[in-house]
């Protein structure tokens, strides 16, 4: 059975003021979603943190009809709850 998994956006390389990364926490037809800033450098990074250990079988991405990524990579890692994870620009 397919279900949505709760997550937090803990880091984004950049974002447009009208489309911040925390928009990904909300879903629906009137949500703006995340968009990188204009004229940003690439690659862009978006780091998601799950509440618990999860087993992903499928990831669904929705792109704007004119703003489609040319390449998407997924990097997966595990950190124990006592590790302090830092992300730097």
Tens digit of each residue's pLDDT (9 = 90 or more) over 1-34: 677 788 888 888 898 888 888 888 887 788 888 8
pLDDT at 61: 78
Instruction: Say what the pTM is.
Output: 0.70
Of the candidates 24, 21, 23, the residue with the CA atom closest to the CA atom of residue 40: 21
Strand partners, 7: 50
3-state secondary structure of 8: strand
Whether residue 89 lies inside any domain: the answer is no
Whether residue 23 lies inside any domain: the answer is yes
pLDDT at 89: 46
Residue-wise pLDDT for 40-85, tens only, equals 888 888 888 888 888 888 888 777 777 777 888 887 787 766 555 5
The whole domain housing 66 covers 1-84
Overall number of domains in the chain: 1
The token pair that represents 76 in the structure block: 């997966």
Is residue 88's pLDDT more than 60? no
């Amino acid at each position: 059975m397919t279900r949505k998994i709760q997550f937090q956006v803990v880091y984004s390389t950049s974002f447009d003021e009208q489309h911040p990364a925390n928009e990904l926490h909300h879903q629906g037809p009137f949500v703006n979603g995340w968009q990188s800033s204009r004229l940003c450098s690439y690659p862009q990074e978006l780091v998601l943190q799950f509440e618990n250990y999860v087993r992903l079988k499928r990831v669904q991405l929705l792109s704007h009809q004119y703003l489609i990524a040319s390449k998407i990579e997924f990097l997966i890692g595990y950190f124990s709850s006592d590790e302090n994870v830092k992300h730097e620009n």
